[in-house]
C-alpha cells in the first residue's frame, strides 16, 4: 500500500485546496493508505517538503493549482519519486493535460492503483532561473502580462479571471520583435507571444498548443505574429478549441531546446508564475518525472 505526502497550497483556488484534498483523502485512508498532510508557506517550502518526502520513499501529491504543481513536479524531476496531483487551483492546466478525473473517488483510485508513467519536464535558464524545472509551458509576451493580471484578480475566479486579464493585456500590448532559436535555427517574429509548450493547455483550459504531448520528448513552439487587435480577440476565442493554429498569423514548430529573445524587456512566465523577463532558454527533459495519471 502506498504512503502519501500531500503538499497543500493553502491559498489555491480561493482556499479550496484543503477541501479538495479532504474528499480524496477519505478514499485513500479507507483503502488503508497512509497520508500525511503538509501546508506550504511558499513555493520553495513546498519543494523542500516534496524532496524530503520523496527521499523517504513516499508518493508526493501536489494539492493546488499549476504553480505548486509545476514547482513540486519540477523539484522531483530526475528523481525516482512518484508524483500525483490533486487539482484545486484556478487553472489546473497540467492536470487537464493528464486527463485527471474531477471526481474525487476516481482520482483516488488512480493514486492508489495507477502505474507511474514517465512525463517530460522543462528546464528553464535565464538571469533569474538557473536550471529551474517546470511542467506545462513557458510563455513570453502578452500572455505573461495577462497571467499577471489574472493572478492579482480578486473578484473573478478560474477562466473568467484569465479572460479578463487577457482583455486588459491586449488593449495595452505593443508588438515585440522576437528572435526565437529552435534547435539552432533562428526565426524572427514580430508579434504578441511565443510559447514553448510541454502541455496543450494554459490560462485555465485554453488550448494554446493542441499538438503538444507530455511524453513525446518535444516542446511545441507556438508563435502568434502581429495582427490587428480585433483579430487577436478572435484568436483568444479560438484558444478554447485550438483552431487558432490554422491561422496564417500563427507559426507552430517543434524542438528540444528553444531560446527566446526580444527587442525589449518582455516578461515571461512558467506554470502560472510570472517573475522574469527575456531572454530565456528552455530545454525538454524527456521522461524525467514519474507521474500517476
pLDDT at 19 over 70: yes
Q: Where are the domains of the chain?
A: 3-114, 123-287
Strands, E assignment, 97-136: 117-126, 130-134
The reported pLDDT for the residue numbered 158 is 56
The reported pLDDT for the residue numbered 272 is 74
Q: What is the pLDDT of residues 196-223, one digit of tens each?
A: 999 999 988 999 999 999 999 999 999 9
Distance of alpha carbon 29 from alpha carbon 23, whole angstroms: 11
Distance of alpha carbon 120 from alpha carbon 256, whole angstroms: 11
Q: What is the pLDDT of residues 125-183, one digit of tens each?
A: 999 889 999 999 999 999 999 887 666 555 555 556 666 666 677 778 899 999 999 99
User: Could you give phi then psi for residue 62, rounded to 5 degrees?
Assistant: -90, 120
pTM: 0.91
- Mean pLDDT on 45-53: 97
Q: What is the pLDDT of residues 90-121, one digit of tens each?
A: 889 999 999 999 999 999 999 999 999 999 99
The fold for domain 123-287 equals: Tumour Suppressor Smad4 (2.60.200)
- pLDDT band at 13; cut points 50, 70, 90: low
State the CATH architecture for 3-114.
3-Layer(aba) Sandwich (3.40)
Amino acid at each position: 500500500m502506498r504512503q502519501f505526502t500531500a503538499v497543500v497550497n493553502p491559498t489555491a483556488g480561493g482556499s479550496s485546496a484543503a477541501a479538495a484534498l479532504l474528499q480524496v483523502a477519505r478514499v485513500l485512508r479507507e483503502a488503508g493508505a497512509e497520508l500525511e498532510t503538509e501546508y506550504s508557506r511558499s513555493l520553495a517550502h513546498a519543494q523542500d517538503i516534496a524532496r524530503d518526502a520523496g527521499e523517504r520513499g513516499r508518493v508526493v501529491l501536489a494539492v493546488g493549482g499549476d504553480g505548486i504543481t509545476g514547482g513540486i513536479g519540477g523539484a522531483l524531476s530526475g528523481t525516482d519519486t512518484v508524483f500525483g496531483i490533486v487539482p484545486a487551483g484556478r487553472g489546473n492546466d497540467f492536470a487537464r493535460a493528464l486527463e485527471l478525473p474531477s471526481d474525487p473517488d476516481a482520482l483516488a483510485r488512480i493514486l492508489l492503483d495507477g502505474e507511474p508513467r514517465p512525463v517530460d519536464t522543462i528546464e528553464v535558464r535565464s538571469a533569474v532561473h538557473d536550471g529551474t524545472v517546470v511542467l506545462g509551458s513557458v510563455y513570453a509576451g502578452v500572455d505573461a502580462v495577462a497571467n499577471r493580471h489574472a493572478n492579482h484578480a480578486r473578484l473573478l475566479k478560474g477562466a473568467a479571471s484569465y479572460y479578463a486579464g487577457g482583455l486588459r493585456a491586449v488593449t495595452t500590448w505593443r508588438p515585440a520583435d522576437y528572435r526565437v532559436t529552435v534547435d539552432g535555427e533562428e526565426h524572427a517574429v514580430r508579434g504578441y507571444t511565443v510559447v514553448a509548450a510541454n502541455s496543450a493547455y494554459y490560462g485555465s483550459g485554453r488550448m494554446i498548443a493542441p499538438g503538444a504531448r507530455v511524453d513525446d520528448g518535444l516542446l511545441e513552439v507556438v508563435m502568434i505574429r502581429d495582427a490587428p487587435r480585433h483579430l487577436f480577440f478572435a484568436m483568444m476565442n479560438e484558444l478554447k478549441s485550438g483552431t487558432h493554429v490554422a491561422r496564417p498569423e500563427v507559426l507552430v514548430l517543434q524542438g528540444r531546446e528553444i531560446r527566446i529573445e526580444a527587442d525589449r524587456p518582455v516578461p515571461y512566465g512558467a506554470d502560472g508564475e510570472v517573475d522574469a523577463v527575456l531572454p530565456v532558454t528552455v530545454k525538454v527533459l524527456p521522461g524525467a518525472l514519474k507521474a500517476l495519471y
